Amino acid sequence: DAGITQSPRYKITETGRQVTLMCHQTWSHSYMFWYRQDLGHGLRLIYYSAAADITDKGEVPDGYVVSRSKTENFPLTLESATRSQTSVYFCASSELAGGSRNEQFFGPGTRLTVL
């Protein structure tokens, strides 16, 4: 029972490089989310997806791209990494958007450092 996994767990990259963070869930949850967590800020939503091939922007989408060709995968790509994108990235999933089944389950996070 893997649940929701993220890879890599740690990544160091350089400014200007493209980086892809992977997220995989085994529950067949419809909804998937990408957040970043920084000191002084709460979790901030980058992008979310309601189903395969349906994605939408969150609060801080600039500089990021997502795709969802399969229900279980939701990769996040930093097209040209900047130092301000140094952060901890969490992927999450939920069964539904509302009601009692909207608990979000989080992956373990990816710590990204952009030099």
- Residue from the set 19, 107, 112, 114 that interacts with other proteins by CB under 8 A: 107
Q: Is residue 109 a contact point for other proteins (CB under 8 A)?
A: yes
Q: How many residues bind other proteins, per CB under 8 A?
A: 24
Q: Are 28 and 71 in contact (CB under 8 A)?
A: yes
Stretch 59-98 residues interacting with other proteins (CB under 8 A):
90, 94, 97-98
Beta strands in 1-115 (DSSP E): 4-7, 10-13, 19-25, 31-37, 44-51, 54-57, 64-66, 76-78, 87-94, 105-106, 110-114
Q: Is residue 42 a contact point for other proteins (CB under 8 A)?
A: yes
Tokens 């029972």 sit on residue: 1
Q: Is residue 33 a contact point for other proteins (CB under 8 A)?
A: yes
| Interacting residue ranges for other proteins, rule: CB under 8 A | 31, 33, 40-45, 48, 56, 58, 90, 94, 97-100, 102-104, 106-109
